[in-house]
Amino acid sequence: MRVCLYKTFTLTLLLLVNSSVFAGAIEIQPVTLELSNAHPITSVAMKNLSPYPVLFQLYTKKWTQNKRGKDVYTATQDLFFTPPIYHLAPNQQQIIRLGLLKPNKTTKEQAYRLYFYQVNTWKNKPHPKGKFVLHIIYKINIPVFVKTPAALKPDVKWQLKLLRDHKLALVVHNLGNKHLYFYKIGLKSDKMAKPVMIQNTKLMYILAGNTRHWMLQEPKSIKGSHKLSAVAYTNLGTLTATCLYANEKTSKNRANER
């Protein structure tokens, strides 16, 4: 019996600058790219750690967010990259160069995504009889940020809100000209020594000039009235917001920003 399956695996990389990632048998570093009008060219390295040759094709998309904070990707010709398609033999590394075709003349950082799409080269190849073969087709993308020529002005307004159903929501307004990302949020009570909740946000991005909302886990472990503080760890520093929390539906809601 011969069974051959092809699976497409999409991987969005939301990691820190100058780090690397292993996507199965593919290594990419760095996983965040930055460009500017003064430094319009950068590079990224991909290495094939598998025992099989692979073929990748590249393309880019403009990255924006709508009023609800949802990511929107559109075709763009603002960037160039080379090579646009390449083969990687086992243990071979390829350097990809990325550059600006259109300078950033706005007062805000511009965001893009660079996509690495693996081309299926196994369709017509024979496989040993009786073997089960699973091929993974990778579609990897990493963020690309183009700095504004204007001075960096971080400006974040955020609130911790108590909703009618006793759930908590964070509302974040990134009024600055640089992207913001949250990688961890802790919820503390003024009456408890240990954190009520620690939540990994999976590096949620709020692009420059955008707003994003998300729900927090309900703090079921607390009873009565508490003053809750949400502490968020971000690329722009630590943010803190507070509100009053109680089990009664008539609880007064208050949000402070710092």
pLDDT in tens, 158-178: 888 877 777 788 889 999 999
What pLDDT was estimated at residue 42?
Answer: 98
**Statement to judge: residues 123 and 178 lie in one domain:** no
In terms of residue numbers, what domain contains 222? 156-257
**Statement to judge: residues 128 and 208 lie in one domain:** no
**Statement to judge: residues 13 and 141 lie in one domain:** yes
CATH number (domain holding residue 212):
2.60.40.10
Question: pLDDT digit string (tens) for 227-249?
Answer: 888 888 888 888 888 877 765 44
Question: pLDDT digit string (tens) for 39-62?
Answer: 999 999 999 988 888 899 999 999
Q: Is the pLDDT of residue 138 over 90?
A: no
**Statement to judge: residues 132 and 175 lie in one domain:** no
Q: Is the pLDDT of residue 198 over 60?
A: yes
**Statement to judge: residues 137 and 250 lie in one domain:** no
**Statement to judge: residues 183 and 245 lie in one domain:** yes
The total number of structural domains in the chain stands at 2
Kindly report the average pLDDT of the chain as a whole number.
80
pTM: 0.79
Question: Which of 127, 146, 165 is where one domain is finished?
Answer: 146
**Statement to judge: residues 65 and 110 lie in one domain:** yes
**Statement to judge: residues 190 and 135 lie in one domain:** no
Query: Would you say residue 151 lies in a domain?
Result: no
* C-alpha distances in Å from residue 50, one per residue of 116, 121, 222: 17, 15, 50
